[in-house]
Structure 1
């Protein structure tokens, strides 16, 4: 008989045992058997008759009978053998549940004499029940990333109908790096099953975890129960949209139409729901004109041309695209789209005249650079290669100098008199398809040089003059032409000096006006003395150039009084009739300068004396750089010397005063010294050269013509021709100007007449 464990008995069960023990002691005793549950029919329990002290043979006669107390007919007694056996299997869990002590009470009754026996059959637990979970599949939801490692999630444990060791359960979780199982016992000795998170979950990596939880009891053999744990990982917006490429490269022609699709970008988001919905925008553009050149569809990611592409402005566009999800806390991803613009021949070449040397002198040698031309084309490659050309049959050519620079040079000699200017059309053409071109005109004037001599229309002029002609009478006029321009075409006339008759110079007979070509007789001709006068006029152009142009002015304009000087002629004249208030003398300082760079100048001092009656005055002429030569004394006999080409200056003055002031008082000039001033070249005065002149003028004369000039000693004929003097013709009053007489005087003195 198995003993009961006192620690597993409840209060009621203990009381029952006490009563049974007492009945056993008082009555016929008590028998206790032990039987594993689920024993089969006929299983031997014990020798009941023998254990009760009853004879087997008397069981029938004494009316042996066994009564079960409401537990069903689980047991039977064989009356022939007195053995207690199992009539039907006993399920302990059905009979006693989770009670730690499970026994079936039997009462055995016999008559003659009447006796009652108490029999107890303890039903022993066997491990016939496996652990059982309440559900076959348990679902859990855990948020990704936000749930920290160590987080605990309670689970419903398994149950086992067995007791004791057979009901002691252990749990095991299928292998997982994310979860583990712990059994926690609280203060009340209650056990709870806990699922522990070992590391953060990533829904995008594993959206759901399926784990098998196994419960194992302590029986022999062990029995197990399982439950499927389905752990769903809840999405958190922890993933930014990402493009399948970090950068894209696209090529487009610069004439691509507005609205044309450039590229379609695609970004994906590993999240779900609104966390994976994406909007596309253009962000962080590196060039300010990108937003004006491209646009993007916010839903599809299609990038299209928005406006015009211009290769010449921007050859490469970098467009940054941003993809943003629609989560509560939006995340973004980025990519770059590089759009290379391909050149199209849409720009014509450009011509620029960067410098030029115009006009071109007609004596310029071949190879002279006329202009520097730069060409450019904003296109690239063959579209930007430019060739330049000019029309053929021109005395010019284009020479390539450096890259896109060309020099327009003179290819052959030019003649201004033949072609005065050239209009050159320069054409620049690129090598694109189709080719584009641009043209620019250059007007090249040809500058004149003095390469043509003056020419007379006829080589010989014949004129008939009556003898005893009036002095200063006009004989004839000659005219020469020069095909050159401006100063190169200015012609001055002079007489080629030679001796006539008794070694008299021809200039004592005639005079030619340097500008007009008018020829005048200086004295009355005498047929008995001279029947034919032959002389030669040679015309000279102004080949000294611009630097030889002279300008005259009074150095002290306020001190000029009633006198003035011709700006270009150098002629000193009166501005009004002379009066006593003008004083007995005047002193003028005449300044002459050329037009060179730098300008050179010289000065001359002219002293004028006013006399009331004919008297001798002294004429004194000095020059610091010239040599002094004595002048012949001038007296009354000089009047005759004028007719015979006399060189006496005093007689000239007397004649001049007589003709000019007739019948006024006569002015006479006394003897004195005169110096002929010579310059090596016209216009070559140095800064230190000065001249001084002393003149005498009759009181009350109405003279308004007076000029002083200096002939060139080395080439007097040519240089005299460049001086602008008054005509030798008489003025309106029939008088010869003092300037003309002065001119004759210097000519005579130069030849020592």
Structure 2
């Protein structure tokens, strides 16, 4: 027992010298079978060129095509250890060498290394006979040299550890002959001397089978020879060895081969029955059948090349004599492969999700194929569906890497279903399909997009501060933080004041609020730029322009510009008592800082000393006599004239005019007479001015209309609209870039023009009262009309209480 233990340890130490080499990224180890769990095979991390820190970080692991996991990697040391006991005989059978293919997988980046483990045989199996006893019935009349087949022993070990020889215990009548058939040693008992049943009716022999291992293992079988009297001819087969080839899909019941034996005896001694030898395994008997009368071997069960492609067994032929005689022959049936196994697709490693900005040739998955068929039937071609940004790169045998081949866009395709097709080379070809789902992770590659590039907003002047002007909105097709949007207003100035002094924006929902109320008379329009920025890294942004138009409200009362009341609250005028009805006493002129209907004014006589004596023209403000002045009329008349605009609510102001009626007072007409020296010439000049003014205004209106028409036509082709919808639902009037106000009664024309990008321009002509050929004044404010300057200019150009007029008054241009 001690010697056996010593030899075992010595053999174990010799086989445990691990060998490895690296051939094109292959690592190979050689170990003996039956190693205990935890035994070290080798330092695979070192052999693959990995540091210990990379073992855990890159998730080094072992993948096997077989169902069992025989090996594992120790993360702390990088050593490859035995995880489960390995029996070479159950793993490889009689095949040599016994190779166990493995795959070492590391990630970040994904890499695949092929590892082969050669399992070496140890002498752990003893030669075993199918039966420990064998009985031979040999007639005494048989001649020396006759051979009798004995059961051969089985030893699952290979190489020198396999069965090497047979020996027969010493006796006088028999010797042992060992023949080799198809590489298998078969013992035969050979009669050396004639038998004499009367001297010895039975012989007991010991057959020993010995292997070549160290230490040597052996098995024995007891052979009992019964010497029979009669029937001295055994059946003899026509061939000692039969061979046949059959397809693995052969139908059950089909004949494969026929064996034939002949017995020279007559009668019952010559009748032969065929059957399987006693040691024939049940696995063979389950798939083959032999007809006992004809010797026809046929298919009994389903054949499968992938389970067993070669069958060897013995057939015996027995006669019916007494004693019974038998002959034997060997049969070898080879199966041919049929393409009956579809290929398999194995996903070794898969990375999902994949960032949408991954470059080309980014490794997504490691894939291998397998086909249980043989030859061309087992050759597999793997393809990937077309039209997808992925492709397959072959690496090792039947192994592929799935990589990107084009740009990825999560916003268009957040997930891909990649269809893998495997087709073998058999006839007909079989195929397999597997769908791999790949999710695409988001990166911040899309800026926010506003619903409109330009927003147009209308707001009333004098609206409360903090009121909402409008809301802008933007969308970002990215996800999570990449799609979260913050709004802000870009710094700019309006009338030298930062835009942040006028408005502010809610950074979360894009609502824009006013910081204070607006004054139309100071500012009619301004613009601001809103920025939408996402929260990605790096963040992306886009801008939109918001045009804010201030809508006029009637918040200014009319201002009297004539007669001037700067020196007092009452205007004093003189009139002769001899004037007739309809005499122009004076003219009240007022202006309103508002626009449009809010600036239309009317005049009325609110109070008078004698209401029957004077009247005020409703539109022009002219004060005229209603009748002739009588001697009974008071010489001092006071008139209270009210001026109202056309706004809502109505704004009004009053002016008091004191008229002194004098006897013998003559109107100063020196200048008037001078002006009448050439009345037709002056009148024609005024008429020419009016015609030129009105023609200019008409031409400007026509040009503006044509420009707007062309702009709308171009905008409609581009898909945009030239009409805008105002945010203030109460204000329904359309936008006009040109406004014309004409009142022939008061001889006043106002032209307001401008665009959204600049301050409005205003042109006005004022005709001095009291004259049918009055002077012409053109006012051009740079922004909103400065009424203080207007008052001073007009006051300087209008006549004083003496009604003296200059015929050559120069027009003034205020800017």
Tell me the TM-score normalized by structure 1: 0.48
Structure number with bigger Rg: 1
Which protein has the bigger strand share? Answer: 2
Tell me the TM-score normalized by structure 2: 0.45
